[in-house]
Amino acid sequence: MKAELFSITYRIALTDAQQARLDRKWPDGTPLISYEKIEALLAPLPVENLDWSDHSGQYLYFTVYGDDIEGTVADVIERLENKLGKA
């Protein structure tokens, strides 16, 4: 048997400005930038388990699957920086 690396969970530290963008809400209390919007932004990359919340600190978590994990992480960071601003 041989085990291979298939997925890794990453944590990105968010700046105050990036966290503030994720925390913004519409007047009815729904998030301005929802999980669905971030998932759509990252599609079709093999990324799942997105998480950011008051409980996770000022971080965004995500799991990357597949053979080109490093390339996928670079794409995720680029897309998130374009949406949330650079660190």
Per-residue model confidence as pLDDT tens digits over 17-52: 999 999 999 999 999 999 999 999 999 999 999 998
Residue 46 lies in a domain: yes
**Residue 56's domain is classified under what CATH number?**
3.30.1370
Asked if residue 2 is part of any domain, the answer here is no
Question: Quick check: is 1 in a domain?
Answer: no
Residue 20, domain extent: 7-84
Helix (H) or strand (E) holding 73: helix 69-84
Domain contains 16: yes
- Report which residue type is found at 15: T
- Could you give the number of structural domains in the chain? 1
pLDDT at 86 over 90: no
Position 55 pLDDT exceeds 80 = no
Question: Does 54 have pLDDT greater than 90?
Answer: no
Cis previous bond, 31, omega within 30: no
**Stated pTM of the model:** 0.86
Domain membership of residue 51 (yes or no) is yes
